[in-house]
Structures are given as C-alpha cells and as structure tokens.
Amino acid sequence: MKDPLEGKTLEYIVTQLVEFYGFEELSQHIDINCFRSNPSIKSSLKFLRKTPWARTKVEKLYLSIMDQID
C-alpha cells in the first residue's frame, strides 16, 4: 500500500493546513506554540523538523482532511 504522504514535503503539508484552517484554528487542533505565537510557515517548519511528536500530529491532521483539500 502506498504511503499517502509520499512525495509531500513538510512545507507543503503545513501550507495546506494553514490555507484550510488558518493559524488560529490550526492552533486549536494542535496546541503548539509555533501555531499560536507570531506564527509563520518558516518558524513552524523549523520547530516541526526538530520535534518529531509535533510533526506526527501535523501529519495525522493532514491525513484526516487530505480528501477535502487535495
């Protein structure tokens, strides 16, 4: 079975989530500071790349809404 995240970069995933939810609502789904305090794609990527548990949450949320945004 093909991995649904294959070929999708973390930047793509975060960008899609931000476009779908906006940072404010995204921070309600995933309670991490990079989505609440002065959020940006760049700062979020920096945090998520070095924080595996947070990246996993982001990927799971993306998978749950993937059919609505792709």
CA dist 24 and 8 (Å) reads 23
The per-residue pLDDT of the chain, averaged, comes to: 95
Domain boundaries, the chain: 10-52
Say whether pLDDT at 70 is over 80: no
CATH of domain 10-52: 1.10.720.30
Contact 10, 49 (CB under 8 A): yes
Contact 17, 55 (CB under 8 A): no
pTM: 0.92
Tens digit of pLDDT for each residue in 28-51?
A: 999 999 999 999 999 999 999 999
Contact 26, 65 (CB under 8 A): no
Tokens 């973390």 correspond to 10
